[in-house]
Amino acid sequence: MPIPTAHIACKKEDFAKTVLMPGDPLRSKFIAENYLDDAVLVNDIRGVQGYTGYYKGKRVSVMASGMGQPSIGIYSYELFNFYDVSSIIRVGSCGSFQADLKPCDIVVAMGACTNGSFADQYNLHGHFAPIADFGLVRRAVEECEKAGVNYRVGNVFSSDIFYNDSFSDLAWSKLGVLGVEMEAAALYCNAARAGKKALCICSVSDSFIDPSQNMSADARRTAFTKMMEIALEVAEA
């Protein structure tokens, strides 16, 4: 596919080697405006804003992925395969499946279970286990330790369904899955297929154990600054 692609309209060199990917375009804008020096808007197709700038002298990009595996599947595929991006760090939110994970705690997704069929395209005789790049996981843990935040490392559940009529997602908690989000599995599959690196870091935004803790949409956009800072520190130049 020629550049620009159907979903990203800029030159290959407009993106840094590492791209942070929040789901929400406004969170992408927030990161660019509050953390990046000399940030330039490099993509705004379909309102999916992408910026490139500098964090502590390190060139970094940030672009929204939209919601769900099909959406991040498109953007991460194009970034990995057409824009020469080396690593993508998803910075998102998740719903907690565990009682000891509270709002604004951080989940480092070492693996991603899913009820989706994204990996079916590879025609495997079995089930692929999507995992993060270990080097990125290790650096994320080091940065969580430095920041003194409450964090957990483990599996997340990438669901293709937000409004689940059977409401059976909590069954995953019995296997130690930390929480539910909607993008990591597809991101990890694309990274594996492209021979690139990926990591999903989530801030807990709500709890399946205690819904009274759930955060508002506005709070989710701006309250997850520790997660953003950790991802920026982890980003490779």
Which residues does the annotation mark as catalytic? 206
Q: Give the C-alpha separation, 17 to 148, whole Å.
A: 28
Pick the closest to residue 200 from 181, 174, 219 (CA basis).
Answer: 181
Do 202 and 94 form a contact (C-beta atoms < 8 A)? yes
Which tokens hold the place of 55?
A: 């964090």
Q: Environment class of residue 61 by beta-carbon count within 10 Å: exposed (0-12), middle (13-18) or buried (19+)? A: buried
Pick the closest to residue 37 from 66, 13, 16, 8 (CA basis).
Answer: 16
- Which residue type occupies 160? D
Residues ≥6 apart with Cβ < 8 Å to 79: 8, 15, 19, 63, 85, 88
Do 92 and 64 form a contact (C-beta atoms < 8 A)? no
Instruction: Output the CA torsion sign for 150, 153, 155, 161.
Output: positive
